[in-house]
Amino acid sequence: MQSGKPRLHIIELFFNPQGIPDWYITNKLPVFDHDKNIIGVMGTAQSYQGRHQAMRPYLQIDSAVQYIREHFREHIFIATLAKMAKLSPRQLNRRFQETFKVSPQSFIMKLRLQAACEELRQSKLPIAEIAIDLGFHDQSSFTLQFRKQLGITPNKYRKSYR
């Protein structure tokens, strides 16, 4: 947002009200004060449902993304995803970069961390248990990734919602 330019028609996965990962088309726009300084960001998110045509460029990797949505808590092999999409691992990585601006591994990590945020806000499960349930090797690796992506520890994140 430092550029002051909006980012439009970004395809992202979010959890819908039923707790299931779902496609959304998002727009992110800077908010300016009277002196034209950026003071915030606003956005919109529209469910993919009914917008299938807008998704046409992304359908080649849809089978891999669908698998990730259903199995993000498990260990996922990139070679398996590539086979599902009938692409080589390198082509799959390129398609993910074109579509989501991240690698398949980063996509999986972001989905796990989004699920972790939901769990931390809504449950009282121990952080170590949340980490294992979401496919991390242990609480330490979970905390490392959480801090790297969100800038705070899972414990501090949880406390900010209590």
pLDDT number for residue 115 = 94
> Average pLDDT of 78-100?
92
Helix (H) or strand (E) holding 33: none
> Average pLDDT of 91-120?
92
pTM recorded for the entire structure: 0.67
Cβ–Cβ < 8 Å for 85, 61: yes
pLDDT number for residue 16 = 73
Domain map (residue ranges) of the chain: 51-160
pLDDT number for residue 56 = 56
pLDDT in tens, 1-54: 668 889 888 888 787 776 777 788 889 999 989 998 889 899 988 876 655 555
Q: How many CB atoms lie within 10 A of CB 115?
A: 19
**For residue 5, what are the CA distances in angstroms to 53, 70, 97, 121?**
26, 34, 21, 32
**Mean pLDDT (the chain, rounded):** 88
pLDDT number for residue 21 = 76
With a cut of 80, say whether residue 162 has pLDDT above it. no
Confidence class for position 147, pLDDT limits 50, 70, 90:
very high
Q: What is the CATH number of domain 51-160?
A: 1.10.10.60
Tally of CA atoms within 13 A in the half-sphere of 135 that contains its CB: 19
pLDDT number for residue 158 = 95
The one-letter amino acid code at 149 reads: Q
> Average pLDDT of 58-79?
90
